[in-house]
Structure 1
Amino acid sequence: MDRCGAWRVVNGPAVRRRIHWHRTYRIIRSIHPPVNLFEDIADPRDWEALVAVEAKTNPRIRLGVGDLGKVPAARRVSGPGASFVMAPFVHCSTMRSGRFSDGSYGIYYAGDSEEVALAETIHHHGKFMRATFEDSGWTADFRVLIGSIDRDLDDVSAVPDVLHPDDYTASQIEGSRLRAAGSDGLVWGSVRMPGRWCIGIFWPDVLPVPVQGRHYSYHWNGARVDYVRQHDTGRVLAVA
């Protein structure tokens, strides 16, 4: 992939290799609330029972917790900040598919820099805004999650068609195949920022719990995201 974003086919199988990044960067909507169940010290194997009890007095509790059946008890994480890790796995939906999942299972996506995380989320936020015909303005607030990774992941950068900029057919097939084969996750060259790297993790226990970084707002001009604002510094940055 060149600096202009032109896409080309590179043939080859996925290659498993050790990925050790001191920092990973994931950007999510700021309205994402912590779920007390995940933050509590309760044994993850007891979560279904606890939710069933709580739901008797609070029917909406299941919506907040999500679908626990998506994650085996042995692969769940709990404790302070655990909601940040658990959320993409228990709140996945076939109505919100992604590059390496049809939405029937969750993936924790992150980049090797804050810039690539911005580039990836700006692209997808813009796609959503165009599809829903939203008015221009400062449309949404986001938060940065800073974590790390030290794991064997499958590098899919050379697998045919998985880095197509818009068609996720081949990448979803490859993601499903590798997950079923026991992969912990994937690594690939960013489609939105060539030269940088992204990861997609299949299970919560693969990752240490991240910490929260800065907050951003994205500005929509009716056609694309043209500015982002850093809440901590007040700086407004133009999007190229």
Structure 2
Amino acid sequence: MTSGRDVTASDIPVSTVRWTGAVRIIRSSFPPIDIFEDIADPADWPLLISAEQKTNPRIMSMIGNLDAIPPDRRAGGNGASYLMAPFTHASMDRPSRFSDGSYGVLYVAGSFRTALFETIHHHARFMAETAEEPGWTSQFREIILNVDADLHDLRAGASASDPFLDPDIYLPAQQLGARLKAQASDGLAYCSVRHAGGECVGLFYPDCASKPVQGRHLDYHWNGKRVDLVRDAGAGNVFRVIDVPAL
């Protein structure tokens, strides 16, 4: 496989991924979206949103683009914000490994450690690009959830030379993601580029995951060059980050 533009869904094996207690780490500044949490049946959302708009013109900025998710693929109930928001708030200003930003992807790691190293990398890159001063800079929250989906599987034989797992160049992976999504894929399973031995999934629909609950609150310490410390805000424990080579 040489580029995402050359690959079709039939070129990649499909595996059933069932993870219990998988982990996603997000910034604490992203609040839950009440309508996703309070109204269990997604079929009721369009009418409720229409009514709410009459008294709350900011409702659409909070909910985002609900039309980005087919009605039969939406998730509702407790914790649904954590599943829905990556899709309703997708933006070309925030591309990712398997999307240019024109559609959302729900990224989940198989373990807390893998999720931590993935987010540390992206946070450190942002801090370096914006020349932030050293200190305890940002708060994050751990989301624990289940994954159950048939996914196109890039894990077998993965290596540093795989164009879809390049640590810095995302274009081939974005082309692949767009093509698979257009061919009705539910997403991809792949080896973590930031944590050796770790596995991740990129889900194209929120109903590929379930039962999200909030775990720990985390603080990341930026020393001017890298994230060197992580603090469990609840327990107060501080852990030093030791680099783990990836692929």
Q: Same fold (TM over 0.5)?
A: yes
Mean alpha-carbon deviation: is it higher for 119-128 or for 35-44?
35-44
Alignment match, 1:219: 221
List aligned pairs for 1:133-148, cutoff 5 A.
133-148=131-146
Query: Cα offset for 1:46?
Result: 3.6
Q: Secondary structure at the match of 1:92?
A: coil
- Deviation of residue 232 (structure 1)? 2.5
For residue 70 of structure 1, report the CA deviation from its aligned partner.
Answer: 0.7
Moved over 6 A (4+): none
Q: Is the 8 A contact 2:37 2:79 kept in 1?
A: yes
Q: Is the 8 A contact 2:39 2:45 kept in 1?
A: no
Give identity over the alignment, percent: 50
Partner amino acid, structure 1, of 2:208: V
1:22 Cα offset (Å)? 2.0
* Alpha-carbon offset, residue 199 of structure 1: 0.6
2:245 corresponds in structure 1 to: none
Gaps of 5+ in 2: 243-247
- 5+ residue gaps in structure 1? 1-8
* Between 23-32 and 157-166, the greater mean CA deviation after superposition: 157-166
Report the counterpart of residue 57 of structure 2 in structure 1. Answer: 59
Opposite residue 177 of structure 2, the aligned amino acid is G
TM-score (norm 1): 0.90
Quote the offset at 1:135 in angstroms.
Answer: 1.7
Query: Does the 8 Å contact 1:84/1:209 carry over to 2?
Result: no
How far 1:42 moved relative to its partner? 5.8
Correspondence for 1:161: 163
Find the aligned partners of 1:201 and 1:222 in 2 and give their Cα distance. Answer: 33
Q: Tell me how far 1:41 sits from its aligned partner.
A: 2.5
Distance 2:133 2:64 in 1: 30
CA distance in 1: counterparts of 2:232 and 2:105, whole angstroms: 26
Q: How does 1:196-211 map to 2 (within 5 A)?
A: 196-211=198-213
Two-structure CA RMSD over aligned residues (Å): 1.8
Counterpart CA distance in 1 for 2:40 and 2:132 is 42
Q: Aligned partners of 1:190, 1:42: CA distance in 2, in Å?
A: 33
Q: Paired residue for 1:41?
A: 39
The residue identity in structure 2 corresponding to 1:54 is E
Task: Give the counterpart letter for 2:181 in structure 1.
Answer: R
SS at match of 1:57: coil
In the alignment, the residues of structure 2 paired with residue 151 and residue 16 of structure 1 have an alpha-carbon distance, to the nearest angstrom, of 10
Residue 171 (str. 1) matches residue 169 (str. 2): no
